Amino acid sequence: MTSDATGTAAQPTEHATTEHPTPTPDEFLWLEDVEGEEALAWVRERNAHAEGALTGTRRFTQTKAAILEVLDSTDKIPGVGRAGDHLYNVWVDAEHERGLWRRTTLESYRTETPEWELLLDVDALNEAEGEDWVWHGARVLRTGPLAFTRALVDLSHGGSDADVTREFDLTSKQFIAPQDGGFFRAESKGSLGWIDADTVFAQSAADGEPTSSGYPRRARRLRRGQSLEQAELVYEGEVTDLYISAHHDRTPGFERDWVSRATTFYTDELHLVRPDGELELVDVPASAEAGVHREWLMVELRDDWEVGGAVHAAGSLLAIDFEAFRAGAREFTTLVAPTPSTSLAGLSWTRHHLVLNVLDDVKNRLEVLTPPADATVPGAAWRRRPFTAAPAIGTVGVAAVDGDDEGELGDALWMTATGYLTPTTLSLVQLDAEGAEVSAEALKAAPAFFDSEGLVAEQHFATSQDGTRVPYFLVRRADLALDGTAPTLLYAYGGFEISLTPGYSGGLGRAWLARGGVYVVANIRGGGEYGPAWHQAALKGERHRAYEDLAAVARDLVARGITSHERLGVQGGSNGGLLTGNMLTQYPELFGAVVVQVPLLDMERYHLLLAGASWVAEYGDPEVPEELAALRTFSPYHLFDAGRTYPPVLFTTSTKDDRVHPGHARKLAARMIAAGKDVTSYENIEGGHGGAATNAQAAHMQALAYTFLWTRLSGGSTATAQAPDGGPTAS
């Protein structure tokens, strides 16, 4: 989901006028008071119950320790991003819970033990300032005489989406205080972004009235020494907009300023800021994603578009010379045309090439495209060649090392490869002028955190209620007895055009697979696995398609003899928490246990709580009677029936989640507890929407879920194929 933009605790609110649909009476409205004394007393009571039920066993202790060892491993791959001559990394381990921001050189990174230069110790910063900062990111200045000596650092209290921005001197390794001229953004949803050493674009939800979703409504050009109120206003959106932002494209020879006006989650406008300060709309469909790279305007379509005498299908990627487009040309070149089994998963520009990543039945296929030398020639062909450096099996991703570099690294790529049973590897791939791979240098490999011998990963398809084929991945023991007794964990998301692809998880492997559990990931509608149509099939009033898809996968697992309904658990978070909330309330007979994490559950009021209004394009508008009627058909808080039998359920959320309101989980848990149902509820105080601010917190939350699921799905058996801490250690 998108980030929230207020950071303020939502208070119970009723619909504003009697013209709006009548809300359902809510006896647990008081639990929406995030920091309220009565609400937090309830949270503490439920946390104590959850701790007493789950944490006092050897299984929980072993599981948590095994997961934490993975998260704190010093053998993890340190992910990096390049700025100038350095590779930057944020490192978290047992000794540095909040993280170290550090950098090294590529030459050093190539070695087994790189030499890291420490820039900022967030734990030490917290101790010095008496704060609970969580690292939220940084942007290094890359142009001008002060290039690579300054950075804008984002820090969040407890992991919430609201954060602050502070200017950091990379030479002295100290923050530059506002009174000394340093750039600073007070706590809010928003950001600062470099234009030059003395100017930034600034957007803050605290700058006047935010949008109805709680995001920034104004973009400003802030000069050093100015307050936000003094800064030049570049653009002001409407309260009904989603998010307003501005950014500077620093590409040498193509420096441009842009304003983005997101009107809904799936519609936006891109404006070029002309030298006179006027905005020029890039005239493409509002539902399309548009971006300009050097000479090229790239347009990815969510809907069909008839333009320039041609009809381009939804899911297409189009290209045209940007200056020709500004002059009126509309003859686009189609770079990607969708098929029933494919969708564009991503793209990355190097200095001279465009690398496309396409999913074909949820498997990666990469291709290198080289644009024509003269972008102004209409219809000029792009040269294509397959990307042969990618392994044949597993999930593959690529990202340009530095597309502005005029040296050899300008056409270099980071390539990651991973799979359910294959630890992640990181390679440096060098392309030549033709787009061919000159070299593929293996740089780093994560260790195997669990023994995968005897395990297999497969892809199957289930048939949904309307006949749609729904793919899912299945990880199991090769010699699994198909007698329906295996504890099985089913995971899905099904929303916001997000695709789920195979990836390695040492924690999952130790806590679930090594015990003999089966793991399943369902690629249901609402996701992006098959492009915009796959997503749009489950929008708003069609949401039931996603739930029917997951129910079909659950039934297929039982039909194959993998598991039984009593041994099948389902888990999901955020939109996936809404999904599992609907599995709980609409399909309780299919599952033996349900885990609902940081969820949306009250779909009558979700638009009034924190960032909820930003998701109206996904779910529907409760203020519109016919859309409210549809929302009520998948609102778990209102679908709960006290007279019905439900499987055991675990709710988890975070007090610091300022994106999806913790009241969702609190209220359904309370309603079910009042009806005498088997409910466990745990709310972490920190963590934001991710649910945890440190590795220790993450291990605790994961261990709660795995212990709950294994206890409920294993039939009370303590026998395991391998103890959760019996896999290879991180050393």
Task: Name the residue type at position 58.
Answer: R
C-beta separation of 450 from 516 below 8 A: no
Where do we find the tokens 């009558």?
604
Angle value at C-alpha 620, between 618 and 621, nearest 5 degrees: 135
Give the C-alpha separation, 17 to 419, whole Å: 52
Q: How many CB atoms lie within 10 A of CB 594?
A: 27
Task: Name the residue type at position 644.
Answer: R
- Rg (Cα) of the chain, in Å, rounded? 26
CA dihedral sign, ordered 654, 667, 2, 524: positive
Q: Could you tell me the CA-to-CA distances from 269 to 304, 325, 712 in Å, in that order? A: 17, 16, 49
Structure tokens that stand for 13 in this block = 């609110």
Give the C-alpha separation, 14 to 25, whole Å: 10
For 694, residues 6+ apart whose C-beta sits below 8 A from its C-beta are 92, 97, 98, 686
Give the C-alpha separation, 135 to 158, whole Å: 9
DSSP category for residue 179: G
Tell me the catalytic residues.
574, 689
Burial grade of 632 (CB within 10 A; 0-12, 13-18, 19 or more)? middle
C-beta separation of 492 from 557 below 8 A: no
Give the C-alpha separation, 547 to 345, whole Å: 23
Q: Could you tell me the CA-to-CA distances from 529 to 106, 492, 540, 553 in Å, in that order? A: 35, 12, 19, 16
For 248, residues 6+ apart whose C-beta sits below 8 A from its C-beta are 193, 194, 195, 201, 255, 256, 257, 258
Give the C-alpha separation, 197 to 708, whole Å: 52
For 407, residues 6+ apart whose C-beta sits below 8 A from its C-beta are none
Residue 166 DSSP SS3: strand
Structure tokens that stand for 93 in this block = 């381990």
CA dihedral sign, ordered 662, 667, 673, 674: positive
C-beta separation of 234 from 250 below 8 A: no
For 271, residues 6+ apart whose C-beta sits below 8 A from its C-beta are 235, 258, 259, 260, 261, 279, 280, 281, 282
Q: What is the 3-state secondary structure (H, E, C) of 465-520?
A: CCCCEEEEEEEEECCCCCCCCCCEEEECCCCCCCCCCCCCCHHHHHHCHHHCCEEE
CA 189 to chain centre: 17
C-beta separation of 329 from 378 below 8 A: yes
Q: Which of 425, 419, 431 is nearest to 394 (CA)?
A: 419
Q: Which of 336, 415, 335, 416 is nearest to 379 (CA)?
A: 335
DSSP per residue, 391-416: -SSSEEEEEES-TT-SSGGGGEEEEE
DSSP category for residue 188: E
Q: Which of 690, 694, 692, 671 is nearest to 681 (CA)?
A: 671
C-beta separation of 503 from 425 below 8 A: no
In what helix (H) or strand (E) does residue 383 lie, and over which residues does it extend?
Answer: strand 383-386
